[in-house]
Amino acid sequence: MRIWLVILLFISSSTGFSQIVNIENRRIYDDTSGWSGSLDAGFAVTQNSSDILYSGNLRPRVQYKTRKNHFLLISDLNYAGSNKTTYANSGMSHFRYARRIKNSAWKWEVYTQIQYNQLLNQRVRYLIGTGPRWKFIDTNNVRFFAGTSTFWEYEELTEDGVINSDFRWSNYLSWFIRTKSGFSFSATTYYQPRWDKFNDFRFSGNYAISQAITKRLDMRIEFNLFYDSAPPANVRTTVFSSSAGVHLRLGE
């Protein structure tokens, strides 16, 4: 039972522990105009001597892109529990619109997001924000982006009915590098202080390396770090997770 829970929480750690949702690694890097998207889903059932254990996730992504405009919708639902207890329950939907500023490397983005997360004692969190995004390099082998924005967030916590309403400054750097040998490194770093209280901030980092073993098989190692200087009650200040695995491409 304990082993199953460790595995379950590890699988959901990418979305289960962090208030900062890493949108950068969920963007669809496709220069083709029109519609594109993907759908990841999973479900598992395990029975032990006393409980039936369930886990599942659903992660759709849809985008519509033209030369000037870019619409992106991302959702992420995760659940883990049994017929007696819920161990993890989280959900998120994020919508983002970006418009290119003339023919420059700059875009102006507007976004909104709604989420809930049992592990963070979060009944609901809603935010809306806007700001510029800068494309420094964007090729097949090297990508580098930076962005800054201001967003307002509203959050209701399950314990004691606490309500938070703040303005935060969101800043991020994102890059991807791939060599001819099949080695790649990607990273995204977020820093989000409150405008009225800079010592109340959140930091999030996602870092991954990958090495091509064959034409269709990659080995991947990933590390995630989240720090909140003023977390909700009974929630850890620092949380990290790491994983290692393989990625198999079934077709071109």
- State pLDDT tens for residues 211-243: 988 877 888 898 989 999 988 777 788 988 888
> In which element (H, E) is residue 86 found?
strand 86-100
Choose the most confident range, by mean pLDDT, from 22-26, 49-53, 93-97, 230-234.
Answer: 93-97
Rounded to an integer, the average pLDDT of 243-249 is: 75
Residue 96: predicted pLDDT:
95
Q: For the residues 166-183, what does the mean pLDDT come to?
A: 93
Task: Give dist(CA 205, CA 48) in Å, integer.
Answer: 36
* Span 87-126, pLDDT tens digits: 788 899 999 999 999 889 999 999 999 999 887 788 899 9
The pLDDT score that the predictor gives to residue 11 is 42
Query: Helix and strand tally (H, E) in the chain?
Result: 2, 12
**pLDDT for the residue numbered 128:** 98
Instruction: Give the pLDDT band of residue 25 (cuts 50, 70, 90).
Output: low
Weakest mean pLDDT among 11-15, 159-163, 174-178: 11-15
The CATH architecture annotation of domain 24-248 reads Beta Barrel (2.40)
User: Can you give the length of the chain in residues?
Assistant: 252
Specify the DSSP element, H or E, that contains 142. Answer: strand 142-157
pLDDT value of position 7: 41
CA distances for 205 relative to 53, 100, 122, 213, angstroms: 31, 27, 21, 26
* Domain chopping of the chain, boundaries: 24-248
Residue 184 exposure: Cα atoms within 13 Å on the Cβ side:
18
